Amino acid sequence: MNDHPPTVLITGGAGFIGSNLVMHLLRDTDWHVVNLDALTYAGNLEGWGGFLTHPRHHFVKGNLTDAALLQHLLQSHQPQAVMHLAAESHVDRSIDGPAVFVQTNVCGTAVLLEKCLHYWQNLPAPAKHAFRLLHLSTDEVHGSLGPQDAPFCESTSYAPRSPYSATKAAADHLVRAWHHTYGFPSIVANASNNYGPRQFPEKLIPLAIVKLLQGEPIPLYGDGSQIRDWLHVSDHCHALTKILTHGQTGDTYLIGTGVETTNRSLLLLLCELMDEMRPRRDGLSHAAAISPVSDRPGHDHRYAIDASHLRRSLSWQPRIDLRSGLCETIAWYLSHPGWWQAILGHRYNMERLGTSGSPRAQ
């Protein structure tokens, strides 16, 4: 990328990872950010403080499939990079209604690639050389690991098992096809489960926190033995920034901590921390609220990440351990009750909180 402050177009910049990424870039870099988001149920501009009106932040409400809007944004803002985060991401919702996942994750990505290719092909030589697109995907495209299987790495075969992961896999293939067919300078990043402040309360960690604060049972799929790698969103944002600025176009980077935790162990740790930070009035442990529910259809048992390529090539390391990250996350929800109460009270189908959210994060 150029030495002068670049302009970056971020799709999905009002979602969980997107909003944290926008704030990270505005706080820690001199980059200008054009933020495109459709503001569906999970998009949220509340609680941004000064970041929303920051002089280097330009928000645009719009849909990823709006080709004319994408062309206008590219031509008018002349970004040096695109960070593609916009996606439907909740597994349960993809089971209930897969069509919108195909439309956003597959068709939307195809429209974005088409417009970015045309924009890139017509750039002058120096700008054309500097331009790149970073596509954010998920480790779920690789399917489910057995207990003794090696963690996912960049060469692991694709084996998606839900409508959500299948649409993300399709988007990944499109991004790579544009690189190999047209020489388009793209990079794919596949991340593990994210958590942290501002996460929509359908995902496992914020769902559990909100349930506990309301004195309700915490739903846990099956026996809770599903294994995940939990990545704090702040570490994820640092990784994405490094990949965008120093990653190799045409390459793939897996992002994760390498620490595997069962969903039951995760909830027990979260309840332990809640016991310290917001004890129950009846004196019982919050763990008494954990309530098993029927498992989700086709629930992947284990995800694990080998991020050694990212660590070696770009000198990235996760900085926030799970206990510290959960403490910070709980503290944020404790100090921002209006944020999640407004979501539950006015903008969200409460029935969706009746079962445990998918442990995904976007």
The catalytic residues are: 139-140, 164
All residues at 6 or more sequence positions from 180 whose CB lies less than 8 Å from its CB, including other chains: 250
CB 99 within 8 A of CB 163: no
Instruction: Dig out the tokens for 254 from the structure.
Output: 């897996």
CB 94 within 8 A of CB 164: yes
Q: Which residue has the tokens 């120093």?
A: 246
The amino acid that residue 352 corresponds to is R
CB 325 within 8 A of CB 196: yes
